[in-house]
Amino acid sequence: MKKRKNDTKKMNNNLKLLIVESPAKIKTISKFLGSDFKIMSTFGHVKDLPPKKLGIERDENDKHIELEYVPIKDKAKTIAEICKVASRASEIYLASDPDREGEIISWHIGQEIAKVFKDKSKIYRISFNEITKPAVLQAIENKATINMKMVRAQQARRVLDRWVGYEVSPILWRKISKGLSAGRVQSVALLLICDREEEIVTFKPEEFWSIHGTFSFKNDDIEAELFKINSKAFKLKSKEETDKALQEIKNSTFTIEKITEKKRARAPLAPFMTSTLQQDAYNKLGFSVDKTMLVAQKLYEGLPLGNKDTPEALITYMRTDSLRLSDTALKAARGYISDKFGTDYLPKIVKNYTKKGAQDAHEAIRPINVKITPRIAAQYLTPEQAKLYSLIWKRFVACQMNAAEYFQRQVLVKGGKFTFRATGSTLVFDGFLKVYMIDDEKENELKIPKGIKENDPLDLKKTEPKQHFTKPAPRYNESSIVKELEKRGIGRPSTYAAIIYTVLKRKYVDKDQKRFIPTELGKMVSKMLTEHLPDIINVKFTAQMEEDLDKIAEGKIKRDEVLNEFYEPFAKDLETWAGKDGKKKAIETDIKCPECSKMLVIRFGKAGEFLGCSGFPECKFTSQFTKDEQGKIMLEEKKEAETVDIKCPNCGKNLVEKMGKFGPFLACPGYPECKYIHQESLKMPCPKCGGKIVKRVSKRGSFWGCANYPNCKLLIPGEVREEACPKCNNPYLSVKKENDGSVTIYCPIKECDYSRKE
């Protein structure tokens, strides 16, 4: 018995604890390491600034900034479990993601472990760009310590965002509506969307015309467009000008002025980084930015290929602004291209790609094993995962292939002062296009009549004038806003999805045919922020701040220098703004109130924006509204409440459907005399107290709870099916909608593993 205790103690002394961010990585990494490794997950961040106070102390004398961190709600148990295992381990490996957020997660959990772990020198920081056995083992071999420069850069970003959110939001509540919030980077993204909308609304189309001619040579035709007049670029602005030119053209004699034939090469695109992956997945696959990152996360963490117990990571880390590829990856790609397509497709020299200003901490996004082709992967992945993996794989392979080659022709046809041009090209070598097609690859092949040469006469067969109007720049969609943010240096790879999610969630922006339109609320918030905080809510300042955060991570400047430089003008602008008129703002319109003839204004409430009378509270008229393409506001006719065939149990009237903060609900039309609100309920009684289980709705969605709340706190999340579990006889089953559109019915009892697909 004594020997067994000693063996147990010895085993515990050899235990090594490796901590990752996501539990999905545990299975993938476990197969690379021996039984002396225990792998645990933090499930993301474990500590943050306190939720109900600022948590930032700034000394007015020496300008030092102190941060207060507390465990995130529901993470105390995770921290305790990790520390319990850490207390009996011999070595600790902090292996959160290789970016600033990952660095501070490692720092925070490392601080907690240090309270129970004696030898602090054996708490290591490791990172890997891909979850493969060589990468993980190499990371353990090259263990390091927490990079405090990266920690301070993350702290700086968090403090900046906290200052703006905590200090600005209360002012927006007072001046516009409760529940609003402001974000430092998101506000600038909103500004770009609002500015683009203003350009569209104020844009005045200009008329212009083009002229197309059909010329014949023997039995063949050449289609050409008017290119120059008097050897100069031109603009026909009206039908009168066009008709005049057409008359002169018809009276002209035409000949072939010049025939140009040359080869043109088109180089492959660089491998993906975060922003270009998001753009291409949106344009080619129809994926939202958020969806792209969620699917890519799964591909990075590992998925089972064949054996469900041995998941395999498929791509490298997906949050990167680097275009660099490792020597191993380049060698693998070139070997695959040579074997699969032959040496004609393989460049003699390796293609290297760089991006100015890239952090270059990671590689570009690429498949880990090029031999796992999209066809092989598709056998084991969901359709969405397979599509994204295919896109990444093809872009990676194509970037190391030879350029595509075209034979390009141009024919200039001249008659008097008019020059027409016909162009076209023929693909003569597909090169990288064999693997990866480009969206704009629409080549127009121009066939030149056999035997034609310069100075040959042509007959003008017909002319066709076409009227056009200039168009404004299109509204941003998810792809184009990411491209614009990256071009202007706003945000970083890890923030693009959050920026888009936030402006939509706050109802500052709506979508029309997948394009962003600022709401009246969004316009007012943007106008107010840029008017009163001009020093910080502007594109140039935000881009400069991103550069400063990068410099903190590189150790070139100090965290508190950047924060103080931000805070002083910010606090001054804030004080001036907060002291101004505290009345809630409303947007004036040119529509008269149908009840009192005073002007209507746009106001903002919990349920969104609405029209109200400027004579409130004397006149209480309100209405919903819509806008036409020119932005003109139109009153919506009030619809009669729809009656349903359910009687009110209190007064016997038929219930009507009403719209509330969380969506439609059924209520008695006799309100306020009768205040009955109908609640859906389950047939089965509450298993805790026997009460009725009713459907409730919150900001997070619908759920089921006991009607005897708060005395009984039974809660059933999501959708349920009143069907007894065939395995454990639990009286209901839970319903889960999968990303691929399928539905899984499963038993919510942890000890029961019953589930089925539908």
Res 6 pLDDT > 50: no
Residues 434 and 442: their CA atoms lie apart, in Å, by 15
- The reported pTM is 0.76
Res 741 pLDDT > 70: no
Range of weakest confidence among 101-110, 222-231, 390-399, 523-532: 523-532
Q: What is the DSSP letter of 347?
A: -
Query: Residue 674's pLDDT is what?
Result: 86
**Local structure of 137: helix, strand or coil:** helix
Residues 755/730, Cβ–Cβ less than 8 Å? no
Range of weakest confidence among 99-108, 224-233, 260-269, 705-714: 705-714
Mean pLDDT of 114-125: 93
Residues 285/391, Cβ–Cβ less than 8 Å? yes
Range of weakest confidence among 110-114, 209-213, 286-290, 684-688: 684-688
Model pLDDT for residues 555-572, shown as the tens digit of each residue = 999 999 999 999 988 988
Res 212 pLDDT > 90: yes
Q: For residue 672, say if its preceding peptide bond is cis, omega within 30 degrees of 0.
A: yes
Confidence band of 702 (pLDDT split at 50, 70, 90): confident
Q: For residue 472, say if its preceding peptide bond is cis, omega within 30 degrees of 0.
A: no
Residue of 317, 389, 406, 732 marked active site = 317
Over the chain, what is the mean pLDDT? Answer: 88
Sign of the dihedral defined by the CA atoms of residues 352, 353, 356, 358, in that order: negative
Confidence band of 10 (pLDDT split at 50, 70, 90): very low
Q: Any long-range contacts for 547-551 (C-beta under 8 Å, 24+ apart)?
A: 547/489, 548/156, 549/153, 549/156, 549/157, 550/153, 550/359
Q: What residue ranges define each of the domains in the chain, with the CATH number in brackets?
A: 11-146 (3.40.50.140), 159-203+507-578 (1.10.460.10), 207-267+406-469 (2.70.20.10), 285-398 (1.10.290.10), 587-635 (no CATH)
Residue indicated by tokens 């969901």: 382
Query: Residue 680's pLDDT is what?
Result: 77
Length of the chain: 758
Query: Residue 449's pLDDT is what?
Result: 81
Residues 161/184, Cβ–Cβ less than 8 Å? yes
Query: Residue 332's pLDDT is what?
Result: 95
Model pLDDT for residues 435-478, shown as the tens digit of each residue = 998 765 555 677 778 788 999 999 999 999 999 999 999 999 99
Percentage, residues of the chain above pLDDT 90: 54
Model pLDDT for residues 57-98, shown as the tens digit of each residue = 998 888 899 999 999 988 999 999 999 999 999 999 999 998
Range of weakest confidence among 2-6, 23-27, 336-340: 2-6
Query: Residue 679's pLDDT is what?
Result: 75
Percentage, residues of the chain above pLDDT 70: 92
Residues 91/110, Cβ–Cβ less than 8 Å? no
Res 256 pLDDT > 90: yes
Residues 367 and 299: their CA atoms lie apart, in Å, by 9
Active site residue 317: yes
Which residue intervals of 62-208 are DSSP H helices?
76-86, 100-114, 133-141, 148-175, 184-202
Mean pLDDT of 725-732: 84
The strand ranges marked E within 648-758 are 654-660, 663-667, 681-685, 692-698, 701-706, 715-717, 719-721, 733-737, 743-746, 755-757
First to last CA, the chain: 53
Residues 104 and 111: their CA atoms lie apart, in Å, by 10
Range of weakest confidence among 211-225, 379-393, 478-492, 656-670: 656-670
Residues 161 and 101: their CA atoms lie apart, in Å, by 14
Residue indicated by tokens 């191993």: 328
